Amino acid sequence: MSHFSQIKTQIRDLTALQSALTDLGISWKSGPQPIRGYRGQTVDAEIVIQQDNGYDVGFSRNQEQYELVADLQYWQQPLSVEGFIKRVTQRYAYHTVLQETERQGFQLSEQQQQQDGSIRLVLQRWSA
């Protein structure tokens, strides 16, 4: 019986996910690689985050999006699972917005971290 939990996210772009994790100072390895779980069980993931306790956390592709995969009994991150997903998702959204707006010809001209934790972006595009 598997002890791994899969938690759905709205994350679809691997590059933006990798950038988000890097921004948050989370050390990760690119997969596919096995995530280590209870009693030596493994499951493959595209991103693996090794923990000091020998159990890993990762993100695996499931049809359209990536899921957080972990044996939650051995969760060893500074934030709760919900807090972790929230922080990663915020940074992921930031990178997704920048990628898409850059593709449309916009440039980031200003960025402000708000007191509530949100990020205010000011974008501009010059037309000829």
**pLDDT tens digits along 58-112:** 999 988 899 999 999 999 999 999 999 999 999 999 999 999 998 988 988 888 8
- The structural domain count of the chain equals 1
The whole-number pLDDT of residue 121 equals 87
pTM: 0.85
CA distances from 46 to 63, 94, 111, 125 (A): 13, 21, 30, 35
H or E stretch at 17: helix 14-23
Predicted confidence (pLDDT) at residue 1 exceeds the cutoff of 50: no
Residue 2 binned pLDDT confidence (cut-offs 50, 70, 90): low
The larger pLDDT score, comparing residue 70 to residue 116, is at 70
Structural domain containing residue 56: 5-124
